[in-house]
Amino acid sequence: MISRRDFLQVGMAASAMVGASGFGNWARLAAQQSLTQDQLLGFDTFGNVSLIHVTDIHGQLMPIYFREPEINLGVGAARGQMPHVTGADFRRAYGIEDGSPSAYAMTYNDFSALAKGYGKVGGLDRVSTVINAIRADRPDALLLDGGDTWHGSYTCFQTEGQDMVNVMNALKPDAMTFHWEFTLGSDRVNELVESLPYAALGQNIFDAEWDEPAELFKPYKFFERGGVKVAVIGQAFPYMPIANPRWMFPEYSFGIRDENMQAMVDEVRSMGAECVVVLSHNGFDVDKKMAGRVTGIDVILSGHTHDALPEPVQVEQTFIVASGSNGKFVSRVDLDVRDGRMMGLKHKLIPIFSDVIAPDPVITKVIEDQRAPYADQLSEVIGRTDTLLYRRGNFNGSWDDLICDALISEREADIAMSPGVRWGPSILPGQEITREDIWNVTSMSYGKAYRTEMTGEFIHTILEDVGDNLFNEDPYYQQGGDMVRIGGMGYRIDITKPQGERISDMTLLKTGEPIDPAKTYVVAGWASVNEGTEGPQIWDVVENHIRKQGTVQLDPNNSVQVVGA
């Protein structure tokens, strides 16, 4: 008998993404000359079922720049495993040429230079063109949205998610799961979910009071596609009430609940499902662990940790697909399902090069309609930058360096804290910074910038706590996201140690003195999960700071010393 592995037809990154025409030096080939839409979309339709996966769009309707992380460390069994491989190691692992379109799309090196050649990425009108092309090959392809869609921009904030719902509705998804959507507050989430013409799924979305499945969210939905009964099971972000403010959605409880996931898989199989797909917002390492514990899942479409992988990762008999973030990628997964089981899989991670893929004018119009009422606000230029501004990285990124500088300066603090979120586009050196750009990296429903006093001991406790969310060896104890970003203070972290022993050598940068556990420091931060937090909105703090700077210039941040990487 031929094993499933033999049927796996995964294209190697470089060749599958851009054909075999051998793209060389970025400097010789401008994006539009070297890449064509046909190359990006080229795919020999396979099997009888197609899945289209988008996830973690974070409100990004328009083309953007997005730099992938340099530092993305795995611990325990995940150490050195995908997706914890970056830069040259990542390119080597997938046979990607330096300076190629794939290198620009999936790694961080030479980002500013490559961005000038290859241009912006994303834009939901371009995403629509890709979806339409796949639907032309396979009209009944399933479009699945992994969540973190109704959050992350000026217009999304002002319309409480309506802009994203309107645009996504026009793309006609078949199902969705959730995370940041809940930070709109449960009343608004319920209202939007009730309006959706497609399925809102989450087997782990429970009623907090009774610890029973929440009525509004179904665990799964059946689809008949290509003569095959496909069951899509939803998995919302497990740690919403911990990572985000619980008081905003007190009626709901989440958790991984893999025993219930197993029960749901068994249930859909007993109802005749020939193919089981999990639409997940677990994060990649959690999905890997879940795939090893729950049997009977064919494909996990993975979201939350914003990883973009050119090949699925196989765990036992389950294939895990990671499709990036911020509208930068679409994954196409074709499945061959016969005799009641999945026999083969073909996959392509499609980077959305905005200058190469033609926008779908229908969706361009829908997007313009959402933005028009706010055009003046969005486009106002606040300043410009000489430094590449990006966010991704385990310990810091220049956007958060700038935000921490703004907090220290505008709020007269010793130390600043910025949450380790992974959303938010990049700005190239020489670019203007508009109000929209600032909101793209700060917009949220709990963005007030607090100012408070903390002892050195308590700051240490916070760093240890967040560090364990990232570097606990058991993925089920990780919440995703990155380390809280610290301004005004340096520290040393040994990622191999247990909680309580990772953080040392905390130093107040302005004096060079060690942080005294007993002493009190003024700390400014934002994105508190506590109800009743007071202070100005973070986007106003950052805007004021950038206005005063005129042109942003940042020094490299060397204040975190990482050990055990």
Partner 1 sequence: MKLTRRDALAIGLGATAVAMLPLRASAAAEEAIAAFTGGAEVGAGDITLTAPEIAENGNTVPVSVEAPGAGSIIILATANPTPGVARFNFGEAAGSQAASTRIRLAGTQDVLAIAQMADGSFIQTKSTVKVTIGGCGG
Which region, judged by CB under 8 A, interacts with partner 1, from 13-21, 307-315, 517-525, 542-550?
A: 517-525
- Nearer to partner 1 among residue 369 and residue 531 (C-beta): 531
315-344 residues in contact with partner 1 (CB under 8 A) are none
233-252 residues in contact with partner 1 (CB under 8 A) are 237, 239-244, 246
Least Cβ distance, residue 147 to partner 1 (angstroms): 12
- Nearer to partner 1 among residue 217 and residue 237 (C-beta): 237
- Nearer to partner 1 among residue 98 and residue 251 (C-beta): 251
SS3 338: strand
How crowded is residue 361: how many other Cβ atoms within 10 Å of its Cβ?
11
* Distance between CA atoms of residues 280 and 286, nearest Å: 10
Cβ burial of 452 (10 Å; 0-12, 13-18, 19+) is middle
Which region, judged by CB under 8 A, interacts with partner 1, from 115-123, 130-138, 334-342, 450-458?
A: 450-458
DSSP string, 272-319: T-SEEEEEE-S-HHHHHHHHHHS-S--EEEE-SS--B-SSPEEETTEE
457 binds partner 1 (CB under 8 A): yes
- Nearer to partner 1 among residue 84 and residue 306 (C-beta): 306
Which residue has tokens 């193919």? 275
* Distance between CA atoms of residues 65 and 112, nearest Å: 9
- Nearer to partner 1 among residue 338 and residue 497 (C-beta): 497
455 binds partner 1 (CB under 8 A): yes
Which region, judged by CB under 8 A, interacts with partner 1, from 138-146, 217-225, 382-390, 479-487?
A: 479-487
How crowded is residue 281: how many other Cβ atoms within 10 Å of its Cβ?
32
Which region, judged by CB under 8 A, interacts with partner 1, from 69-77, 253-261, 371-379, 537-545?
A: 253-261
Q: State both tokens at 356.
A: 């190469």
Helix axes 162-171, 124-137, angle to 10 degrees: 20
∠ CA 414-418-420, rounded to 5°: 145
Least Cβ distance, residue 554 to partner 1 (angstroms): 22
Bond from prior residue into 310 cis (ω within 30 degrees of 0): no
Q: How many CA atoms lie within 13 A of 396 on its CB side?
A: 25
- Nearer to partner 1 among residue 211 and residue 339 (C-beta): 211
DSSP string, 409-461: HHTT-SEEEE-------BB-TT-EEEHHHHHHHH--TT-BEEEEEEEHHHHHH
Number of shown-chain residues binding partner 1 (CB under 8 A): 58
Q: State both tokens at 413.
A: 């603090």
* Distance between CA atoms of residues 98 and 114, nearest Å: 10
- Nearer to partner 1 among residue 39 and residue 455 (C-beta): 455
Q: Which of 81, 158, 431, 461 binds partner 1 (CB under 8 A)?
A: 461
- Nearer to partner 1 among residue 348 and residue 448 (C-beta): 448
Q: State both tokens at 474.
A: 């058991």
200-219 residues in contact with partner 1 (CB under 8 A) are 208, 211
Least Cβ distance, residue 156 to partner 1 (angstroms): 17
519-548 residues in contact with partner 1 (CB under 8 A) are 523, 525, 527-530, 533
The answer to whether 47 and 344 are in contact (CB under 8 A) is: yes
482 binds partner 1 (CB under 8 A): yes
Least Cβ distance, residue 253 to partner 1 (angstroms): 6
Q: Which of 254, 395, 399, 439 binds partner 1 (CB under 8 A)?
A: 254
- Nearer to partner 1 among residue 97 and residue 494 (C-beta): 494
Q: Which residues contact 26 (CB under 8 A, 6 or more apart)?
A: 99, 100, 104, 110, 113, 114, 117, 118
Binding pattern for the stretch 275-314 against partner 1, x by CB under 8 A and - elsewhere: -----------------------------xxx--------
77-116 residues in contact with partner 1 (CB under 8 A) are none
Positions touching partner 1 (CB under 8 A) are: 179, 208, 211, 237, 239-244, 246, 253-256, 259, 304-306, 417, 419-423, 450, 452-455, 457-458, 461-462, 464-466, 468-469, 474, 476-477, 479-482, 484, 499-500, 517-518, 523, 525, 527-530, 533
